[in-house]
Chain A
Amino acid sequence: MTIGNIYRGREGMVSWALHRITGLGVLLFLLIHIADIYIVRYGAEAFDDLLIIYKGLPFRILEIGLVASVYFHAINGLRVIIIDFWDGAVDRQRELFWAVVVLFTVMFVPTAILMLIAAFD
């Protein structure tokens, strides 16, 4: 059991926490996706009705969150793999974390802008 305030971990702990949160985000999407595909069983019309909900603004915004989760989880996953297989990366884990942040930003910002334009179009 943890007591008192939270441990002040550094880059490694931040990346671990974000990796878990984004991993759960992607898992949540997969569960919703399994459920929505199941709706096809009730006919094409029912499925189309469902897609209207997906095209609504709240879901479009959530979709951007999904993309953020997938991007971060994938890029940070590569960082973890590099650390697992290369001793030199262990000493540069902080730099690698910031490289993940930069790469994530470069990939996510344009994607998010395009998705926002599409959402408000």
Chain B
Amino acid sequence: MRVDVRILRYNPEVDTKPHYENYVVDQEPTDKVLDVLNTIKWYQDGTLSYRRSCAHGVCGSDAMRINGRNALACKLLVQDAGSSITIEPLLGFDVVKDLIVDMEDFWDGYKSIQPFLINNDPPPSGRERIQTPEEREIFDDTTKCIMCAACTTACPITWTNPDFIGPAAIVNAHRFIYDSRDKGGEERLEILNDRNGVWRCRTVFNCTDACPRGIKVTRAIEQVKRTLLYNS
């Protein structure tokens, strides 16, 4: 099928401001939007820049704004995006080039919540730390995060407040806070109990709508809010 593609381009070495460029490609309806970008880059314009790695919705590299909403280019099919596709970089972060944004703030937020198991006690009798299926279920949803930043950059708070820790960092904190094997919950809750932590969330639900893994991001944030409220 013929697809008209409009891409927001920006090369800081040449351009003074971002501008749209139009392309026409021929794709199968079952191709992915990433295939559209590859067709453009490989056969029409090699200067087009974007991140991609696994191309199968696992690595989280190619989150971008497609027709105004955040999505993974490797997961969205052309037939679902339509015959006219507008592709823009993620909002809220500085554009490095074309569809590549500077993710430093995103990783800073992620690192700040200590995204690793904190437990100095040795595992019982030299074995692994066991957990019941019910205990695992509590944080199952938030283990699915692939750090693509679709949620964080869909959030209006992130667009205007670079200090906001962002939905992705809260999701990854949630994954450890409610893990029965982890002992760092208090520390993480303290980090999130900040005006730029969970309390900055305005329940806009853009994060939940944008998550390519279907994580109920707002639900996780609300759970952390309530834990802070009831435990303090």
Give the interface of A toward B (CB within 8 A).
Answer: 1-13, 16, 80, 83-85, 87, 90-91, 93
Contact of A91 among B88, B202, B216, B225 (CB under 8 A): B216
Query: Which chain A residues lie closer than 8 Å to B223 at the CB level?
Result: 87
Closest 7 CB pairs of A and B: A12-B205, A8-B68, A90-B219, A16-B204, A4-B88, A9-B206, A4-B8
A8-B67, A8-B68 known; A3-B204 Cβ under 8 A: no
Instruction: Report yes or no: B65 in contact with A9, Cβ–Cβ below 8 A.
Output: no
Contact of B68 among A6, A16, A87 (CB under 8 A): A6
Query: Which chain B residues lie closer than 8 Å to A80 at the CB level?
Result: 203
B197 an interface residue at 8 Å Cβ cutoff? Answer: no
Instruction: Report yes or no: A3 in contact with B8, Cβ–Cβ below 8 A.
Output: yes
| Distance in angstroms between the alpha carbons of A10 and B205 in the assembled complex | 8
Instruction: Report yes or no: A87 in contact with B222, Cβ–Cβ below 8 A.
Output: yes
Query: Which chain A residues lie closer than 8 Å to B94 at the CB level?
Result: 1
Instruction: Report yes or no: A11 in contact with B159, Cβ–Cβ below 8 A.
Output: no
Instruction: Report yes or no: B204 in contact with A13, Cβ–Cβ below 8 A.
Output: yes
Instruction: Report yes or no: B203 in contact with A16, Cβ–Cβ below 8 A.
Output: yes
Instruction: Report yes or no: B219 in contact with A16, Cβ–Cβ below 8 A.
Output: no
Identity of the chain B residue whose Cβ is nearest the Cβ of A20 in the assembled complex: B202
| Distance in angstroms between the alpha carbons of A2 and B147 in the assembled complex | 21
B195 an interface residue at 8 Å Cβ cutoff? Answer: no
Query: Which chain A residues lie closer than 8 Å to B85 at the CB level?
Result: none
| Distance in angstroms between the alpha carbons of A87 and B8 in the assembled complex | 38
Identity of the chain A residue whose Cβ is nearest the Cβ of B159 in the assembled complex: A2
A83-B222, A87-B219, A87-B223 known; A4-B65 Cβ under 8 A: yes
| Distance in angstroms between the alpha carbons of A17 and B203 in the assembled complex | 11
B78 an interface residue at 8 Å Cβ cutoff? Answer: no
Contact of A7 among B8, B91, B95, B202 (CB under 8 A): B91
